[in-house]
Structure 1
Amino acid sequence: MISKFLLKGKLGLAPAESPRRVLDLGTGTGIWAIEFAEENPDSEVLGTDLSPIQPDYLPPNCRFEIDDVDDDWVYSHKFDYIHGRYLLPFIKRKWSSFFKTVYDNLNPGGWIESQETIIYFQSVDGSIDGTALQRWNALLLQGIRKMGRSATEALRCKYYLAEAGFVNLGEKKFAVPMNNWAKGKDEKAIGAMQMVNNLEGIDGLTMTVFTRALGWTPADVEKLLVDVKRDMKDRSIHAYITIIVAWGQKPS
């Protein structure tokens, strides 16, 4: 898991010590919630998602529910730690409203942590200039904006936390190589993992955005993706993306 590799084996950076009740928003396969429950047997961990794709075998202190983060929150209790990963771009409500809801559902002293991948490829040496990858990325960002969302707004996550009233704010940004072009054992390893993530997710994302927002035909999308995937594997293109982790605490 690339996130755990980046965080040096940790599941999060917020200093949430022995949280009694934990909520994992947009839990997906549930891997974060399960691992957190295993590492923190005194915590009660709830993972929520629209899709019931989590495994049946779980730690006794972990459970999952089908829920939409955009709906009204009607939990029977408040939480001590709320975690979300790769979530914000898919939220339909305004982010200020979302973080206010998180704030209202935390106990005093509780923590929020958000981790997001910024789908904006850059290079420090200009090697991305003029590539199919750069053209695709610009069109993707344009299409996402036309759909009323932003692929880069998560860079302002700390601002939204402060606006909602959180204190003791923290933020860390990671420059993640697109593939294993970077020097160093760890950099090559994380670049290889990121390339797999990129190649696994690019088809569905591109087809959705380009056909719905930009009016492309599926055939034209597939033709472009041949060149983009080639660029993503090209070690002479020294591109990277940013992963950001931000956290804050509700005042006691």
Structure 2
Amino acid sequence: MMSNEQQQPGGDNGPIIIADDFAGLSNHLLQNADDSSPDRATLGLAPPAQPGYKVKRVLDVGTGTGIWCTEFGDEYPDAEASTRPFGCWYRSVSSSNSIVRVPPNVKFEVDDLEEPWTYHTKFDYIHTRVMTSSIADWKRFFKQSYKLASTPRPKANTSPSKSSFLEPGGYIELQEAHMRPNCDDDTLKPTSPLIEWVDRLEEACNIFGRPFINCPSLKPLLEEVGFEGVSVTKYKWPINAWPKDPYYRELGIWNLENMLEGVEGWSMAPFTRALNWTKEEVNVFLISVRNELKNKNVYAYIPVYMIRARKPLKTAEDDEEAS
């Protein structure tokens, strides 16, 4: 589905937060979010994303333009490259942003992550980022990653097989931005255009049954499914270049560019399809939103969470699968 020249997969009730047009900027921000890292650039915090880790198969869920998995494939060129182990599952890739060069160990596949998965191999690492309002049921997604699931047999007239999609000891990592800006002082007013924009966007997502995810709530969901060692790291992305610290100031510069480029794509489909605004009304409203995003007297920031968890080395589900 097309809405204001933004690809909107999934039909009228499909995911409505699409970030393909500025995925490169988001990727740069996330890679540089870790201010404790010596080089402040990372593909993730889970062990499979660290140098020297022996990883075989990786699934990138909701890959957008594919920039993360192509960089991951370059970083791990010897990881069974001949078998194309890196499955990158993506909703949509617009022609203007398609990856020109794909490493030989990266394979793109189009599928619906909310339908039963049909993979016949397991993964060492499942990675996802910025999927709020794209995944309607996070617990179900975690179960599909962790537990046994019925998958069709290749041959007709045979009963479904049982398969789990994450190797024992494998990792899942979520990199999510909380959509509602925070502020540690009173410079972001409750009546500000930015707050009104988020309120309206949240209202639209609720109408479509795809609410904003409360990022810290993902930790107990992962634990309930059976993951262990769940850890959460929170970062702050300034909305513009207001910080005095050079590192956070640079993050703010990148984040402002990201949000100015993305705000129309984030807003148009939800506002017109759920709230019945006209395209002209949305564009006029976004003028004040963009102006506030550029206001360096507003000391607001976007909370960003990196959440990683490990599947135990031995589970009852794996015993069932082995039998």
Query: What TM-score do the two structures reach when normalised by structure 1?
Result: 0.94
Counterpart position of 2:171: 111
* Pairing 1:31–2:92 present: no
Deviations 1:148-172, CA, capped at 9 Å, x for gaps: 1222423311122111110011110
Look up the equivalent residue of 1:201 and give its one-letter code: G
**Following TM superposition, by how much is the alpha carbon of 1:196 offset from its aligned partner in structure 2, in angstroms?**
1.0
Q: Is the 8 A contact 2:67 2:99 kept in 1?
A: no
Counterpart position of 2:232: 171
The size of the alignment, in residue pairs, is 251
* Pairing 1:47–2:88 present: yes
Q: Is the 8 A contact 2:63 2:90 kept in 1?
A: yes
Of the structure 1 ranges 218-227 and 50-59, higher mean CA displacement relative to structure 2 is found in 50-59
**Whole-angstrom CA distance in 1 between matches of 2:237 and 2:140:** 30
Deviations 1:162-198, CA, capped at 9 Å, x for gaps: 1111001111011110000011111111001111111
Counterpart position of 1:21: 57
Look up the equivalent residue of 1:6 and give its one-letter code: A
**Whole-angstrom CA distance in 2 between matches of 1:30 and 1:175:** 25
**Whole-angstrom CA distance in 1 between matches of 2:228 and 2:78:** 26
Q: Is the 8 A contact 2:236 2:303 kept in 1?
A: yes
**Following TM superposition, by how much is the alpha carbon of 1:213 offset from its aligned partner in structure 2, in angstroms?**
2.1
Counterpart position of 1:226: 287
1:236 pairs with 286, 294, 297, which one? 297
Look up the equivalent residue of 1:157 and give its one-letter code: L
RMSD: 1.5
Look up the equivalent residue of 1:23 and give its one-letter code: L
Deviations 1:5-40, CA, capped at 9 Å, x for gaps: 113211011122321111111111111111111111
Of the structure 1 ranges 133-142 and 20-29, higher mean CA displacement relative to structure 2 is found in 133-142
Off by >4 Å, runs of 4+ in structure 1? none
Of the structure 1 ranges 153-162 and 47-56, higher mean CA displacement relative to structure 2 is found in 47-56
* Pairing 1:11–2:43 present: yes
Label 1:52 to 1:230 Cα distance change in 2 as closer, same or farther (>3 A): closer
**Whole-angstrom CA distance in 1 between matches of 2:108 and 2:202:** 33
Look up the equivalent residue of 1:153 and give its one-letter code: N
**Whole-angstrom CA distance in 2 between matches of 1:155 and 1:145:** 19
Q: Is the 8 A contact 2:63 2:88 kept in 1?
A: yes
Q: Is the 8 A contact 1:109 1:250 kept in 2?
A: yes
**Whole-angstrom CA distance in 2 between matches of 1:29 and 1:215:** 29
**Whole-angstrom CA distance in 1 between matches of 2:280 and 2:104:** 48
Query: What TM-score do the two structures reach when normalised by structure 2?
Result: 0.74
Q: Is the 8 A contact 1:120 1:152 kept in 2?
A: no
**Whole-angstrom CA distance in 2 between matches of 1:62 and 1:204:** 28
**Identity percentage over the alignment?**
36
For the pair shown, which has the larger CA radius of gyration, 1 or 2? 2
Q: What pairs with 1:210-225 in structure 2 (closer than 5 Å)? A: 210-225=271-286
Counterpart position of 2:125: 81
Counterpart position of 1:63: 107
2:220 pairs with 159, 163, 168, which one? 159
Q: Secondary structure of the equivalent of 2:271?
A: helix
* Pairing 1:101–2:137 present: no
* Pairing 1:150–2:211 present: yes
* Pairing 1:245–2:271 present: no
Q: Secondary structure of the equivalent of 1:197?
A: helix
1:121 pairs with 153, 178, 181, which one? 181
**Following TM superposition, by how much is the alpha carbon of 1:204 offset from its aligned partner in structure 2, in angstroms?**
2.0
Q: Is the 8 A contact 1:18 1:42 kept in 2?
A: no
Label 1:197 to 1:52 Cα distance change in 2 as closer, same or farther (>3 A): closer
Counterpart position of 1:131: 192
**Following TM superposition, by how much is the alpha carbon of 1:217 offset from its aligned partner in structure 2, in angstroms?**
2.4
Higher-strand-fraction structure:
1
Q: Is the 8 A contact 1:118 1:155 kept in 2?
A: no
* Pairing 1:188–2:236 present: no
Look up the equivalent residue of 2:112 and give its one-letter code: D
Look up the equivalent residue of 1:51 and give its one-letter code: S
Label 1:9 to 1:24 Cα distance change in 2 as closer, same or farther (>3 A): same
Q: What pairs with 1:193-204 in structure 2 (closer than 5 Å)? A: 193-204=254-265
